[in-house]
């Protein structure tokens, strides 16, 4: 089945059983007058179009991670979100990103994007690498709602608006 013709809360069309949506920057960065163009901001790039790590003055470091949401009817919605991490974790992540040690990367931090319809901005979460060729995935949280988001199957109509 296809999700053709539907849109998410961000206004983008969703097509296919496995949709991917990416937040370009962490939500707190959007509140800055120059956003990611703030003087002193550092961005790393995995591709020409996408940053995977950033450090923003007065906000701190962030790493891009994936938030998979299982939907009914066998569909999956995966958000590319940002995880607020410690400066040491950012340096460690940068050091292993293209190395074999990347497969063992584990990051503890706080979700830096609000996810409709649950919110979840600032919730503590852990990200781990499932596949060395992919961005780390959010895998666990002490927060009961985020744990449900990660483990339950959600009605399509509830999660995709």
Tell whether 151 is covered by a domain: yes
Predicted pLDDT at 18 = 57
Q: Give the structural domain span for 77.
A: 18-159
Tell whether 2 is covered by a domain: no
Predicted pLDDT at 23 = 83
Tell whether 42 is covered by a domain: yes
Tell whether 8 is covered by a domain: no
Angle in degrees, CA 121, 63, 129, rounded to 5: 105
**If we measure between CA atoms, which residue out of 93, 87, 97, 83 comes closest to residue 127?**
83
Tell whether 1 is covered by a domain: no
Tell whether 9 is covered by a domain: no
Tell whether 13 is covered by a domain: no
Domain count, the chain: 1
Tell whether 12 is covered by a domain: no
Summarised one tens digit per residue, pLDDT across range 104-135 is: 999 999 999 999 899 999 999 999 999 999 99
């Amino acid at each position: 089945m296809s999700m053709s013709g539907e849109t998410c809360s961000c206004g983008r069309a969703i097509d296919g059983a496995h949709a991917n949506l990416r937040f370009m920057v962490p939500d707190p960065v959007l509140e800055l007058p120059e956003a990611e163009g703030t003087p002193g901001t550092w961005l790393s790039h995995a591709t020409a179009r996408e940053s995977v790590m950033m450090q923003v003055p007065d906000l701190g470091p962030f790493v891009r991670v994936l938030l998979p949401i299982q939907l009914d009817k066998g569909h999956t919605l995966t958000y590319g979100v940002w995880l607020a991490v410690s400066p040491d974790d950012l340096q460690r992540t940068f050091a292993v990103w293209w190395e074999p040690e990347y497969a063992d990367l584990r990051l503890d931090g706080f979700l830096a994007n609000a996810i409709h319809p649950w919110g979840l901005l600032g919730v503590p979460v852990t990200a781990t690498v499932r596949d060395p060729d992919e961005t780390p995935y959010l895998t666990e949280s002490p927060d009961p709602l985020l744990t449900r988001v990660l483990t339950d199957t959600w009605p399509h109509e509830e999660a995709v608006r």
